[in-house]
Amino acid sequence: MRFNGSETYVATDDLNLAVNASITLTRPLLIKGEPGTGKTKLAEEVARALGMPLYEWHIKSTTKAQQGLYEYDAVSRLRDSQLGDPKVQDISNYIVRGTLWQAFTADQPVVLLIDEIDKADIEFPNDLLRELDRMEFYVYETKELVRARHRPVVFITSNNEKELPDAFLRRCFFHYIRFPDKETMEKIVAVHFPDIKKTLLREALEAFFEVREVPGLKKKPSTSELLDWLKLLLAEDISPEALRSSDRRTIIPPLHGALLKNEQDVHLFERLVFMSRQAR
Protein backbone atom coordinates (compact mmCIF):
# COMPACT_ATOMS: atom_id res chain seq x y z
CA MET A 1 0.00 0.00 0.00
CA ARG A 2 1.93 2.99 -1.23
CA PHE A 3 0.68 6.29 -2.47
CA ASN A 4 2.52 8.00 -5.30
CA GLY A 5 0.17 10.67 -6.49
CA SER A 6 -2.54 9.91 -9.03
CA GLU A 7 -3.66 10.87 -12.50
CA THR A 8 -5.54 13.82 -11.12
CA TYR A 9 -3.32 14.81 -8.25
CA VAL A 10 0.33 15.79 -8.43
CA ALA A 11 2.06 15.06 -5.15
CA THR A 12 5.63 16.08 -4.44
CA ASP A 13 8.11 13.50 -3.15
CA ASP A 14 8.07 14.80 0.38
CA LEU A 15 4.29 14.71 0.48
CA ASN A 16 4.27 11.11 -0.76
CA LEU A 17 6.77 10.21 1.89
CA ALA A 18 4.70 11.81 4.64
CA VAL A 19 1.55 10.04 3.44
CA ASN A 20 3.27 6.67 3.21
CA ALA A 21 4.90 7.08 6.61
CA SER A 22 1.57 7.83 8.21
CA ILE A 23 -0.03 4.84 6.47
CA THR A 24 2.73 2.44 7.54
CA LEU A 25 2.91 3.66 11.12
CA THR A 26 -0.84 4.33 11.35
CA ARG A 27 -0.47 7.82 12.73
CA PRO A 28 -2.79 10.65 11.79
CA LEU A 29 -1.28 13.08 9.29
CA LEU A 30 -1.87 16.74 9.98
CA ILE A 31 -1.76 18.84 6.83
CA LYS A 32 -1.38 22.57 6.74
CA GLY A 33 -0.79 24.98 3.90
CA GLU A 34 -2.16 28.00 2.09
CA PRO A 35 -5.86 27.72 1.26
CA GLY A 36 -6.35 26.10 -2.14
CA THR A 37 -3.23 23.95 -2.22
CA GLY A 38 -5.18 20.72 -2.18
CA LYS A 39 -5.28 19.70 1.46
CA THR A 40 -8.77 18.23 1.42
CA LYS A 41 -8.27 16.85 -2.06
CA LEU A 42 -5.34 14.79 -0.82
CA ALA A 43 -7.55 12.59 1.36
CA GLU A 44 -9.95 11.97 -1.52
CA GLU A 45 -7.11 11.08 -3.85
CA VAL A 46 -5.41 8.77 -1.39
CA ALA A 47 -8.68 6.97 -0.75
CA ARG A 48 -9.23 6.54 -4.47
CA ALA A 49 -5.68 5.50 -5.25
CA LEU A 50 -5.63 2.90 -2.51
CA GLY A 51 -9.19 1.78 -3.17
CA MET A 52 -10.40 2.52 0.33
CA PRO A 53 -13.73 4.11 1.27
CA LEU A 54 -13.51 7.69 2.49
CA TYR A 55 -15.25 8.93 5.63
CA GLU A 56 -15.41 12.70 5.90
CA TRP A 57 -16.00 14.70 9.02
CA HIS A 58 -16.27 18.39 8.30
CA ILE A 59 -15.73 20.53 11.34
CA LYS A 60 -17.69 23.69 12.07
CA SER A 61 -17.35 26.17 14.89
CA THR A 62 -20.17 24.41 16.74
CA THR A 63 -18.90 20.87 16.25
CA LYS A 64 -18.23 18.92 19.43
CA ALA A 65 -15.80 16.03 19.64
CA GLN A 66 -18.59 13.79 20.95
CA GLN A 67 -20.54 14.20 17.72
CA GLY A 68 -17.81 12.40 15.85
CA LEU A 69 -18.14 9.41 18.17
CA TYR A 70 -21.86 9.05 18.79
CA GLU A 71 -24.91 10.90 20.01
CA TYR A 72 -27.55 9.64 22.36
CA ASP A 73 -31.00 10.66 21.19
CA ALA A 74 -32.71 10.97 24.55
CA VAL A 75 -35.68 12.88 23.17
CA SER A 76 -36.74 10.12 20.75
CA ARG A 77 -36.43 7.58 23.49
CA LEU A 78 -38.61 9.58 25.81
CA ARG A 79 -41.21 9.99 23.09
CA ASP A 80 -41.13 6.29 22.24
CA SER A 81 -41.57 5.39 25.87
CA GLN A 82 -44.77 7.40 25.92
CA LEU A 83 -46.04 5.47 22.94
CA GLY A 84 -45.11 2.16 24.49
CA ASP A 85 -42.80 1.20 21.66
CA PRO A 86 -40.87 -2.00 22.60
CA LYS A 87 -37.81 -0.51 20.93
CA VAL A 88 -37.39 1.59 24.02
CA GLN A 89 -36.04 -1.30 26.07
CA ASP A 90 -32.79 -1.31 24.18
CA ILE A 91 -30.84 1.89 24.62
CA SER A 92 -28.63 1.08 21.66
CA ASN A 93 -31.56 1.89 19.37
CA TYR A 94 -31.08 5.52 20.32
CA ILE A 95 -27.34 5.73 19.88
CA VAL A 96 -26.59 7.53 16.64
CA ARG A 97 -23.17 6.60 15.34
CA GLY A 98 -20.78 9.36 14.38
CA THR A 99 -18.21 9.42 11.60
CA LEU A 100 -15.41 8.12 13.80
CA TRP A 101 -17.46 5.14 14.94
CA GLN A 102 -18.37 4.28 11.36
CA ALA A 103 -14.74 4.51 10.32
CA PHE A 104 -13.60 2.36 13.25
CA THR A 105 -16.09 -0.42 12.63
CA ALA A 106 -15.81 -0.61 8.85
CA ASP A 107 -15.05 -4.05 7.40
CA GLN A 108 -11.94 -2.87 5.61
CA PRO A 109 -9.32 -0.19 6.25
CA VAL A 110 -10.71 3.22 5.43
CA VAL A 111 -9.47 6.76 4.98
CA LEU A 112 -10.84 9.18 7.55
CA LEU A 113 -10.73 12.90 6.85
CA ILE A 114 -11.16 15.39 9.66
CA ASP A 115 -11.49 18.58 7.69
CA GLU A 116 -10.58 22.04 9.01
CA ILE A 117 -10.01 21.05 12.59
CA ASP A 118 -9.01 24.62 13.44
CA LYS A 119 -12.61 25.80 12.97
CA ALA A 120 -13.79 24.09 16.13
CA ASP A 121 -13.56 25.19 19.72
CA ILE A 122 -10.06 25.50 21.10
CA GLU A 123 -10.48 22.41 23.30
CA PHE A 124 -11.79 20.23 20.48
CA PRO A 125 -8.48 18.53 19.57
CA ASN A 126 -7.83 17.73 23.22
CA ASP A 127 -11.11 15.83 23.39
CA LEU A 128 -9.95 13.50 20.62
CA LEU A 129 -6.52 12.54 22.01
CA ARG A 130 -7.33 9.03 23.14
CA GLU A 131 -9.60 8.36 20.19
CA LEU A 132 -6.86 9.16 17.69
CA ASP A 133 -4.04 7.61 19.66
CA ARG A 134 -5.54 4.27 20.68
CA MET A 135 -8.31 4.36 18.08
CA GLU A 136 -10.93 3.36 20.61
CA PHE A 137 -13.57 4.98 22.78
CA TYR A 138 -16.12 4.00 25.38
CA VAL A 139 -19.86 4.28 25.01
CA TYR A 140 -21.21 5.03 28.48
CA GLU A 141 -24.85 4.42 27.64
CA THR A 142 -24.34 0.84 26.47
CA LYS A 143 -21.12 0.17 28.42
CA GLU A 144 -19.43 -0.88 25.23
CA LEU A 145 -15.89 -0.30 24.05
CA VAL A 146 -15.63 0.60 20.39
CA ARG A 147 -12.24 -0.28 19.06
CA ALA A 148 -11.00 0.16 15.51
CA ARG A 149 -11.00 -3.14 13.62
CA HIS A 150 -8.48 -1.70 11.22
CA ARG A 151 -6.73 1.47 12.17
CA PRO A 152 -7.98 3.97 9.62
CA VAL A 153 -5.65 6.24 7.67
CA VAL A 154 -6.43 9.60 9.23
CA PHE A 155 -5.92 12.95 7.53
CA ILE A 156 -6.48 16.15 9.43
CA THR A 157 -6.43 19.51 7.70
CA SER A 158 -5.95 22.89 9.31
CA ASN A 159 -5.95 26.43 8.01
CA ASN A 160 -4.06 27.75 10.98
CA GLU A 161 -6.95 29.79 12.33
CA LYS A 162 -6.26 28.40 15.77
CA GLU A 163 -3.12 26.90 17.15
CA LEU A 164 -3.42 23.25 18.07
CA PRO A 165 -2.42 21.95 21.50
CA ASP A 166 0.98 20.28 21.88
CA ALA A 167 -0.41 17.03 23.22
CA PHE A 168 -2.44 16.69 20.06
CA LEU A 169 0.46 17.54 17.75
CA ARG A 170 2.67 14.95 19.41
CA ARG A 171 0.35 12.22 18.19
CA CYS A 172 0.32 13.33 14.59
CA PHE A 173 2.68 13.45 11.69
CA PHE A 174 2.86 16.84 10.13
CA HIS A 175 3.21 18.06 6.60
CA TYR A 176 3.12 21.60 5.31
CA ILE A 177 2.07 21.78 1.67
CA ARG A 178 4.19 24.49 0.16
CA PHE A 179 2.96 26.60 -2.65
CA PRO A 180 4.07 24.75 -5.80
CA ASP A 181 6.91 26.17 -7.86
CA LYS A 182 6.50 26.81 -11.57
CA GLU A 183 7.63 23.35 -12.56
CA THR A 184 5.18 21.55 -10.27
CA MET A 185 2.48 24.00 -11.26
CA GLU A 186 2.91 23.07 -14.91
CA LYS A 187 2.48 19.42 -14.01
CA ILE A 188 -0.64 20.19 -12.01
CA VAL A 189 -2.16 22.16 -14.87
CA ALA A 190 -1.24 19.41 -17.33
CA VAL A 191 -3.15 16.94 -15.18
CA HIS A 192 -6.28 19.09 -15.24
CA PHE A 193 -6.10 20.50 -18.76
CA PRO A 194 -4.25 17.96 -20.84
CA ASP A 195 -4.78 19.74 -24.14
CA ILE A 196 -4.20 23.34 -23.21
CA LYS A 197 -2.06 25.25 -25.70
CA LYS A 198 1.55 25.58 -24.59
CA THR A 199 1.74 29.30 -25.31
CA LEU A 200 -1.44 30.08 -23.43
CA LEU A 201 -0.25 28.08 -20.47
CA ARG A 202 3.10 29.81 -20.39
CA GLU A 203 1.59 33.27 -20.59
CA ALA A 204 -1.07 32.45 -18.03
CA LEU A 205 1.41 31.00 -15.56
CA GLU A 206 3.64 34.01 -15.88
CA ALA A 207 0.73 36.37 -15.33
CA PHE A 208 -0.38 34.26 -12.40
CA PHE A 209 2.94 34.25 -10.62
CA GLU A 210 3.23 37.98 -11.19
CA VAL A 211 -0.12 38.58 -9.55
CA ARG A 212 1.06 36.47 -6.63
CA GLU A 213 4.07 38.69 -6.25
CA VAL A 214 2.07 41.88 -5.90
CA PRO A 215 3.02 43.10 -2.43
CA GLY A 216 0.32 43.51 0.15
CA LEU A 217 -2.33 41.20 -1.27
CA LYS A 218 -4.71 39.99 1.40
CA LYS A 219 -5.29 36.65 -0.24
CA LYS A 220 -2.79 35.47 -2.78
CA PRO A 221 -4.35 33.43 -5.57
CA SER A 222 -3.63 29.73 -5.12
CA THR A 223 -3.63 26.58 -7.21
CA SER A 224 -7.39 26.15 -7.17
CA GLU A 225 -7.86 29.75 -8.29
CA LEU A 226 -5.38 29.26 -11.11
CA LEU A 227 -7.28 26.21 -12.29
CA ASP A 228 -10.57 28.11 -12.20
CA TRP A 229 -9.04 30.96 -14.11
CA LEU A 230 -7.61 28.66 -16.77
CA LYS A 231 -11.00 27.04 -17.14
CA LEU A 232 -12.51 30.47 -17.76
CA LEU A 233 -9.76 31.44 -20.18
CA LEU A 234 -10.41 28.28 -22.14
CA ALA A 235 -14.18 28.71 -22.05
CA GLU A 236 -13.92 32.30 -23.27
CA ASP A 237 -11.32 31.20 -25.81
CA ILE A 238 -8.92 33.96 -24.93
CA SER A 239 -5.83 34.07 -27.08
CA PRO A 240 -2.35 33.97 -25.57
CA GLU A 241 -1.71 37.38 -27.13
CA ALA A 242 -4.27 38.95 -24.83
CA LEU A 243 -2.17 37.96 -21.88
CA ARG A 244 0.99 39.28 -23.41
CA SER A 245 2.23 42.81 -23.72
CA SER A 246 5.61 44.40 -24.13
CA ASP A 247 5.46 45.58 -20.56
CA ARG A 248 3.44 43.05 -18.70
CA ARG A 249 2.84 45.26 -15.71
CA THR A 250 0.66 47.59 -17.67
CA ILE A 251 -2.13 45.16 -18.47
CA ILE A 252 -4.77 43.75 -16.25
CA PRO A 253 -5.16 40.08 -17.08
CA PRO A 254 -8.61 39.28 -18.45
CA LEU A 255 -11.05 37.69 -16.03
CA HIS A 256 -8.82 38.56 -13.09
CA GLY A 257 -11.85 38.25 -10.84
CA ALA A 258 -11.16 34.52 -10.73
CA LEU A 259 -7.74 35.14 -9.25
CA LEU A 260 -8.43 37.95 -6.81
CA LYS A 261 -11.30 37.23 -4.48
CA ASN A 262 -11.06 40.29 -2.34
CA GLU A 263 -12.41 43.69 -3.32
CA GLN A 264 -9.47 45.44 -1.70
CA ASP A 265 -7.02 43.23 -3.53
CA VAL A 266 -8.65 44.04 -6.86
CA HIS A 267 -8.43 47.75 -6.08
CA LEU A 268 -4.84 47.45 -4.99
CA PHE A 269 -3.96 45.56 -8.13
CA GLU A 270 -5.70 48.02 -10.44
CA ARG A 271 -4.05 50.93 -8.69
CA LEU A 272 -0.61 49.38 -9.13
CA VAL A 273 -1.24 48.73 -12.80
CA PHE A 274 -2.52 52.27 -13.23
CA MET A 275 0.51 53.71 -11.50
CA SER A 276 2.97 51.78 -13.61
CA ARG A 277 1.12 52.92 -16.72
CA GLN A 278 1.52 56.53 -15.71
CA ALA A 279 5.14 56.00 -14.93
CA ARG A 280 5.78 55.00 -18.52
Partner 1 sequence: MLAGFFLKLKEHKIPVSINEYLILIEGMKKHVISPSIEDFYFFSRTALVKDEANFDRFDLAFGEFFKGVESIVGEAFDVPLEWLRKQAELTLTEEERAKIEALGGWDKLMEELKKRLEEQKGRHQGGSRWIGTAGTSPFGAYGYNPEGVRIGQKESRQRRAVKVWDAREYRNLDGATELGTRNIKVALRRLRRFAREGAPDELDLDNTIDRTARNAGWLDLQMRPERHNAVKVLLFLDIGGSMDDHVKLAEELFTAAKSEFKHLEYFYFHNCLYDYVWKDNRRRHTERIRTWDILHKYGHDYKLVFVGDATMSPYEILQPGGSIEYNNDETGVVWIRRMLEVYRKAAWLNPEPQELWAYRQSISIIRGLMSDRMYPTTIEGLENAMRALVK
By CB under 8 A, tell whether 82 contacts partner 1: yes
- Torsion angle in degrees (nearest 10) through CA of 73, 76, 77, 81: 170
Stretch (H or E) spanning 273: helix 263-279
DSSP secondary structure string, 177-235? Answer: EPPP-HHHHHHHHHHH-TT--HHHHHHHHHHHHHHHHSTT-SS---HHHHHHHHHHHHH
CB of 161 to partner 1, least distance (A): 8
By CB under 8 A, tell whether 179 contacts partner 1: no
- State which residue, 2 or 277, has the beta carbon closest to partner 1: 2
Q: How far apart are CA 260 and CA 207, in angstroms?
A: 13
By CB under 8 A, tell whether 75 contacts partner 1: yes
By CB under 8 A, tell whether 1 contacts partner 1: no
Residue 100-139 contact track with partner 1, rule CB under 8 A, x = bound = ----------------------x-----------------
Query: Applying CB under 8 A, what is the total number of residues that bind partner 1?
Result: 33
CB of 145 to partner 1, least distance (A): 24
Q: How far apart are CA 30 and CA 22, in angstroms?
A: 10
Identify the residue among 6, 32, 250, 268 touching partner 1 (CB under 8 A): 32
Measured CA distances, 128 to 134, 161, 192, 201 (Å): 10, 19, 36, 45
- State which residue, 176 or 193, has the beta carbon closest to partner 1: 176
CB of 237 to partner 1, least distance (A): 38
Pairing of β 95-97 and β 153-157: unpaired
Residues that bind partner 1 (CB under 8 A): 13-14, 17-18, 20-22, 24-25, 27, 29-30, 32, 74-75, 78-79, 81-82, 122, 162-166, 169-170, 172-176, 178
